[in-house]
Amino acid sequence: MAKGDPGASTRGRRAAPRSRKAATGDPELVQLLTPSGERIDSVTGPDGVEYRVDFTDEEYRGLYRDLVLVRKLDAEATALQRQGELGLWASLLGQEAAQVGSGRALRAQDMAFPTYREHGVLYCRGIDPIMPLGLFRGVDQGGWDPNEFKFNMYTIVIGAQTLHATGYAMGVAMDGKTGGEDGEAVIAYFGDGATSQGDVNEAFVWASVFNAPLVFFCQNNQYAISEPLERQTRVPLYRRAAGFGFPGVRVDGNDVLATYAVARHALDNARNGQGPSLIEAYTYRMGAHTTSDDPTRYRIASEVEAWQAKDPIARMKAFLEREKIADSDFFAEVDEQARREAIDLRERVLAMPNPEPVTMFDHVYPNGSPLLDEQRTQFNRYFDSFEGSAH
């Protein structure tokens, strides 16, 4: 998407589409774009807030481009893993709208704390998409600077990053960086399974009582590896927020417009000093949990097909076509860009140098430590013992 402040622009706006209520028939779900690509002008969420977006045509096209690019790069990463070039890959397939919508809703000064699946948010933060591939290839620890890009390192320990985000957000508030339009907000990503972790519930408590400027963004993709949602909760996840004392809302996570609107509202509330909130982005993991997983062992094909009909990219394309915001030349050009970027990604992955094994000690602490120095010496001795052998 073009740089700037999407959604807040007044340039070249389209006539507002018809207003609708509860198009999904689900009063709990905020939706602004139906699966068939029909726009809903505004919708009132379960939190009583009226949500809407007001993008220019260029911005709509930009969102579509983001969705297609992140899907293509993700597919390329999956293929690279299948060909033995990555050790593992956690695909975002199906979750592109949840990630692009929330990623584009972030303002430059906002800080994000991801899990291991937020390649779409990473892309929106302006980080080279090659970065997580180095991590999953095992040649680096994730090479981006969290402070420069305002996007923390990937976190594999389920839910841990919600505590990191809470502490960071409390620090933002203590530094006096909230309370106005240019205030800072923090967003923490996690999954439906993570909501059962102690860490996440502790983060909810701390963020609430310290009024931290934090958005808890749960991508409910219906599974925690093989465990379905009904093994995590008996109530809709967003409603848990009430018990912790902050607002919660469920958004159609396959709708990039609604996700943007809901995330932007929650982030702006946080930056304005109104404390935390929980967003449950209701979506579906279309692929495997990771490339080590076989989802056919625990879910049926008809369920996947039902979600296929709610695809986030297909509905955006249908909308752009219906409203004549984009033509076939545009779609072909986006596909061509995605193809080129995927090839570039592949070539750069194959060219990644293998690090010397001993470099794994280099970035544990900024200035090293005596214990680490000892381990490095031991490791070198062990490694040298193979010299001349076939290993």
Ligand X SMILES: Cc1ncc(C[n+]2csc(CCOP(=O)(O)OP(=O)(O)O)c2C)c(N)n1
Q: Looking at the annotation, which residues are catalytic?
A: 285, 289, 298
Q: Is residue 191 involved in binding Mg ion (CB under 5 A)?
A: yes
Binding residues for ligand X, rule: CB under 6 A, are 117, 156-158, 190-194, 221, 223-225, 285, 289
CB of 232 to ligand X, least distance (A): 8
Q: Which 8-state DSSP code applies to residue 359?
A: G
For position 280 contacting Mg ion by CB under 5 A, the verdict is no
Which residue number, 37 or 167, has a Cβ lying nearer to ligand X? 167
Least Å distance between CB 291 and ligand X? 13
Smallest gap from Cβ 229 to ligand X, in A, equals 9
Report the partner that residue 119 touches, choosing among ligand X, Mg ion, none (CB closer than 5 to 8 A by kind). none
- Alpha-carbon gap, residue 62 to 330, rounded angstroms: 11
* 192 binds Mg ion, rule: CB under 5 A: yes
Q: Check residue 118 for interaction with Mg ion (CB under 5 A).
A: no
Q: Which stretch binds Mg ion (CB under 5 A): 30-38, 143-151, 158-166, 189-197?
A: 189-197
CA pair distance 231, 72, nearest whole angstrom: 32
SS3 call for 320: helix
CA distance 267 to 277: 9
213 binds Mg ion (CB under 5 A): no
Cβ closest to ligand X, residue 193 vs residue 275: 193
For 310, phi then psi, to 5°, come to: -110, 20
**Which residues 222-261 are close enough to bind Mg ion by CB under 5 A?**
224
Only segment of 46-54, 125-133, 220-228, 319-327 that touches Mg ion (CB under 5 A): 220-228
Instruction: Report how far residue 43's alpha carbon sits from residue 33's, in angstroms, rounded to the nearest whole number.
Output: 11
DSSP strands (E only) in the chain: 29-30, 43-44, 50-51, 111-113, 186-191, 214-220, 223-224, 227-228, 248-252, 277-282
Residues 6+ apart with CB under 8 A from 89: 77, 78, 80, 81, 136, 290, 291
For ligand X, the nearest residue by Cβ is 191
CB 344 → ligand X: shortest distance, Å? 27
Q: Give the strand pairing for 29-30 and 248-252.
A: parallel
Read off the tokens for 224: 């925690």
Task: Please tell me whether residue 221 binds Mg ion under the rule CB under 5 A.
Answer: yes
**Do 115 and 187 contact (CB within 8 A), yes or no?**
no
117 interacts with, out of Mg ion, ligand X, none, CB within 5 to 8 A per kind: ligand X
Question: Cα separation of 109 and 312, whole Å?
Answer: 27
96 binds Mg ion (CB under 5 A): no
Q: What is the dihedral of CA 131, 135, 141, 143, to 10 degrees?
A: -10
Minimum CB separation of residue 91 from ligand X in Å reads: 10
Task: Decide whether 219 or 269 has the Cβ nearer to ligand X.
Answer: 219
CB of 320 to ligand X, least distance (A): 28
Q: Which positions touch Mg ion (CB under 5 A)?
A: 191-193, 221, 224
